Structure 1
Amino acid sequence: MGDHESFRHGETNLPSFSRAHRRTTVLVVASTLSCALAAGLAAVPAAAAVTAPTDLRTADQPCATAAPGPHLSPSRLNDAQAVVLRGTFSRTSEETGLQAEFQVWDTTTPEQPQQWLRNVGEQSDQVYVQLEDESKQLDGVTYAWRVRVLDGTDASPWSSTCHFTVDRTGGPAATVTSAVYPAGSWDDASGAIGVPGAFTLTSASDDTVGYRYRFHSAELSDDSDYALVDTDALGGPATIGWTPRAAGHHSLAVHAVDRAGNWSGAAYHEFYVRETRPAIFSAAYPDWGSNLNYNVGVPGAFELTATVTGTASFVWRIDEDGPSGTAPLGADRTATVMIAPTRAGRQTLHVHSVTHDGTAHAPRAYAFTVDNGPRLTGDTDRGVTIGSSLTFHLAPRAPQVEAYLYWPQHSGLTEPPVEKITVPARADGTADLTWTATGTSVIGLRFQSRSTDGTLSEPRWTSVSVDGAAPTVTRTGGTDVGTPATFTARTRMANVVEYVATLNGDEATKQVLAPAADGSVTFGFTSTKGGYHYVTVVARDAAGVRTEQGGTSWSVVDGPRVTSTDFPATGSGPLATGTFSFTPRLTGTTAYEYSMNYGPYVTIAAQPDGTATLTWTPTGTGTNRLAVRSVTAAGTRSMSTQYTFTVEAGANRVTSTAPTPRPRGGVRTTAGHR
């Protein structure tokens, strides 16, 4: 089925298609058709067929019968980034195989139209095309279009002519001016918090219909969202009002928006808002932490410094219902106020300057904490080994303390439910407590006092680092299958009563072991098969607290031992027949399979004692590689032992060898098939 035929089966009513699914056939008519366009003649109108398409729409906008029509930016219209043309027509149920013929032309060259054909679905009364060829939809060009319905050799009358203009690019950046907040530096700061200002946005393009803008303040963490303001007239300016909530550096980003919705490049207006809020400092009640020498009802000094010329006094208050007052300005532009907070916890001091003319300027908000949490001494901010304890002494900083509550804080994204533990206070309000580390997720402890009326103090925090004391494990022996491996484990946990050791995670191998006098333990495992093996060990104390898991891993070899006096792994062998001896590590070996120089495996039988001898004649000199594996009667295969040796012409045959350590690279084992 060709492209034209495929259009007859659905998809005619779908919105814009992606370029990968387009089914539009574009035919650019190169011949001169100005007469045809003027007379509306390109095919014979169908007698009593379908009427000319109506309800014409360009990119979902009504038909513009006069140029330039709507300005369209294809990239902003749809996923296909194409202008969509559509219309409707009246049809009868007998009509099949209809096509829509669209003509699109540059209004300056009407004699060179583009012809776009698209099949019409058999149940559809819609004509539709999306213009995806960018080379035929040029930026800045005004196009006209019309459509008719083809029925074989017949055609409906042409529709009315519609227009649109392609606009793919934004204009030049706008300019920004403001009398109250002109561009400048900190030395040129203007206005003030709460002082409104106007900004005039001016475009260099006569195509601008609006401006998108956004303010940013260096002091505030939240950027405002982009807002849109319309121009007074096409290509004209716009004015926006704005009132700062902070002082210091600000910026205004502006984009001019044209009729097609394109944004211009950004214009940035950088300016500074004058600081009029007084500065506040207090060592008694700092804004970064707490001073435990001060508490509820304890007066503390707050130093206020004027930033506005002509300041006469300061007005202050704590929150909405706390203490409040005024303070006259001193000779050094400062005033010191003694304030006694009436409650514990986080609160905010608000202070503003009042000038001699009675003007009240923007307030400064100074947040601080009044800490009435208990005084904590002892093992604070320390590490501890799991199973061991930390001790703390608690002294009250709130009235009539009857008890203390404490709870651990855990690391991780999800903390377990908080379970507070209560410790009664002595008559003098003090208490001592001991905390034992039972898990490694604890990163700190919090403490609160509770007064007789049930009031809880601010919490006190101390950091904790818990050592999981995972046992260290060392091994000797056990590298050959069937031979015992001996392990020694020891831990930093105090008063260990038992170790639990497991081989390869198999619960059936678990050993529960009592420690020696020095706190260590020695135990063994014998591996019955080759390959990777591991031992895990945890320790426990009398309270049942267990350490983190320690362990070690190693490889057990079950491949056969290979030796040869004729072809030693070190030195070289002669270009003559020689032998290799195979000795099993795998219990129950009845045969061996060997491969010389990566050739196919050959089987030889084992002697009753499990050994075997291979006689072999080299065919040339050079390096050779012998791979050997053991096989049991049940078909179990060991790892493969790799034996590398060299054959040289004229080499002496070795008639005897003395036991020496095997140099690295002589005989090695690798995992083979089982």
Structure 2
Amino acid sequence: MGSRRSSLPARTGVLAVTAALLLAGTALPASATEYTSIQSTSWSFIDSAQPEKSFVDPAGDAPIGAKVDHGKKHVSKSYFTFDLSGLRGAKVLSAELSGKETAVADCSAPRGTELWVTAPAKKAPTWNDQPRELTKLAGPGSLDVCPSDYLDWDAGPVLQQAIDAGRPSLTLVLRLPDSQQYNPRFGRTYRPLLYVSLEKNQPPTTPTALKTGTHACAETPLVRHGGAAMSATVSDPDDNSFTAEFAWWPVDHPDQRATGIDYVYGSGAYFDPDAQLADGVTYAWQVRAKDSLATSAWSETCRFTTDFTPPATAPVITSTDYVYEVPGKGGVGIPGDFTLDAGGDTAIVGFQWQAGYTDSGYVAADRPGGKATVRYTPRDDGPMSMSAYGLDAAGNHGPSGDYRFFVARNGPSMTCTPARAFLGETRQCTFAPHGTDGATAYVYQIDGGPEVTLPAGPDGTATITVTPTDATKSYRVSVRARMTNGNLSGPGGGQLDIDRGAPTVDVPADAMVGKPVVLTLHAVLPGSASFTYDWDYGEPATVPVGPDGTAQVTVVPDRPYYHTVQVYTTTAAGLVSATNEESVMVGSDAPSITSTDFPECCEGGYVTTPGTFTFSSALPGVVSYTYSYLGAAPVTVPAGPDGTASVTLTPLSTDTQYLDVTSKSADGWVSQPGYYRFYPKSAAPPLVCDATGNLRPGQLVHCTLTPVQPGLASYGYDITADGETGPDVEVRPGADGTGAFEFTAPATDTKIWLYVDAWSVNAAGQRTDTSYTSYYVDPNAAASRKTNAV
């Protein structure tokens, strides 16, 4: 037969490949087959020249046929054994056995090698005691090479026959046919190792470890909704992806059998039939595993009974130890009894309860529909509540009952002597139990530090010694008593009343930028030896405490308004007080600027109208002021004997006017600038013309100007036509102060824009801001004589 080498996987090693299929995220039954290979686990040969001897796993190659050695003929067969324990129950789809020739006596002689299955033998074969040869394998197929590195036989039928017979191993003999066996010309040797490459399937194992919810199969639990989930341990020797089929049925109606499928990955199978179960029915169930080629046996049968009806009654909760109306009863760490009553609802066999945020539990009723007692020890004081609901045998719970109660405060007291003391001074603090609760010990901590246990004295009290030394710490003492019942009480204690000795600071009311400010520091902490201060969070400086407990420091503010000084003291022993932080308001040394002609608050005089501006300063000894108007070069004016100066300024536009002023003192000190903003009124003369709308080319227009500017001397105007501005035209005012002029619209064949701007000028030649009007000169426009006021 021809070679079948391409029909099976590679032959080296023990190789397993399992096929699985996933479509659109849904698991489907796996292909179930596995490609694997096994190799012979032992070999031996027999020799006619030594008919009573066995040659088991010797070194060298496996001989078959005849050879002559030192004039003596040897005829041999070689035996190979395969372990089949890993193939128990398998179905073999195909199998190919292969071997390799290592030496051939005569390659011109036809190859006649045969492979036979032998009968099982209890001992190694000899020439005189050979196992019976049962079945000859088809083959070999070979390559056209000699010696051949690959000869193969179809091993599927004999392998399946051995597996079906339950044989743990399979032995084959490699030999030559009788017609060639004794002729040395046909002798050959083989590598002493044979391989079988096969495709096989083994059925999944019968499921084990069955559970209904959390209940083993041997139980018949009463289950509520969600409690009948069925699970089992399953496996498949060929794959970890297969299916588990669950079946369930009412015990009284096996004809109502239903099934459900779980797609298994690994070893756990699970199915919840809850939606298909009826209330009050006993069901049986079992499970089996399936791949696409084989199915395991059904598992053992389990049972459960459904109960989907919850209790209808809310428990009533009562307590004589803890009530809401008497806040003084009980306390943290003092247990009390709470009675839960099912009110005769026989469906209730127990209660699930909860108190506070963390405490809960289950307690069985003394009988169905009866009562139970919960002994509860509160963890917190104040108003609390307990809730409980009844549970039936299946775990269904009914409505909740609630109970409110009050837990009294029972933290130990703390009394300190002295009640208030400076930092660094020692005080004794005594703990005492609350009421009649008693105390055998106290557990306390300071500022959340490590807990310390302190035994109580015969009178139930205990005393600690505390010396606060760190001004930044709170020194809050939290303490609980270990009561005589062994439980801890509620919290007590409190914060130590400490004078942390923060120094005080005297700040002068007239502090001003650029002038020395003397701050007086006063020590508060007894024994203070030095002050450490900083100005505006700058570099700290240290000065000694004077005999009167004070020190003076001088700072020179470089800007006005708020500044900060921080100061603490240090004793000779190194004890540091708390830090005091004070705000220091520093006045600005900038000059004040006033004007009645042009007030800063609102619109002042007209454009081109001179105004007087007065400069003054709170600084003593001012000798001059330097001002800049509208960003022009600074101008300096001397101060009068009263320290003030006045200047006259004339605004020439309606724009916001900017005036900045500094002062200079006799000692050369130049102040911060003062700022003044003012807003002149428009002095533009109103412009009224007798034409409105569009103008015709050549149309004559008459215009009148009305005086506004104080000291008016003349008017002026110009005309811009089609983007070209004409010359300024002077207009003399009449006896009534008005001015009149006329103009002619340009002769044009196209439409253009025309603008008229007008102003007035005083005797000093100062021009006001402008009035204006505009026209559209249109050759197609109709004449208009309507007056237009602009």
Q: TM-score, normalised by structure 2?
A: 0.36
Q: TM-score, normalised by structure 1?
A: 0.41
Pick the structure with greater CA Rg.
2
